[in-house]
């Protein structure tokens, strides 16, 4: 189990380092190939929002779009 101390240290890293860590952790997980691709896509989409490549929408806007 990850200790609070390790978690706190990791969360204190700069955003770019946390994104890289997330990418490496996802890559290290042994799961079905398709699942790995879906997780990697999710990480990429989060990166796109965090870096401003795409604009996020609010939950209310999302629900309105779904109608």
- Residue-wise pLDDT tens digits, 5-62: 998 999 999 998 998 898 888 777 765 666 778 888 888 888 898 889 998 888 999 8
The whole-angstrom separation of Cα 62 and Cα 55 is 13
Report which secondary-structure segment, H or E, holds 2. Answer: none
The whole-angstrom separation of Cα 4 and Cα 41 is 28
* Cβ 28 vs Cβ 36: under 8 Å: no
pTM reported for the whole predicted model: 0.45
Q: Is the pLDDT of residue 1 over 60?
A: no
All structural domains of the chain with their residue ranges: 14-66
The whole-angstrom separation of Cα 1 and Cα 66 is 39
Radius of gyration of the chain (CA): 15
């Amino acid at each position: 189990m990850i200790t609070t101390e390790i978690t706190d240290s990791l969360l204190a890293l700069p955003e770019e380092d946390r994104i890289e860590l997330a990418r490496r952790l996802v890559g290290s997980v042994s799961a079905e190939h398709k699942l790995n691709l879906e997780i990697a896509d999710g990480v990429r989409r989060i990166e796109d929002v965090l870096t401003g490549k795409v604009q996020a929408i609010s939950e209310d806007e999302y629900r309105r779009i779904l109608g």
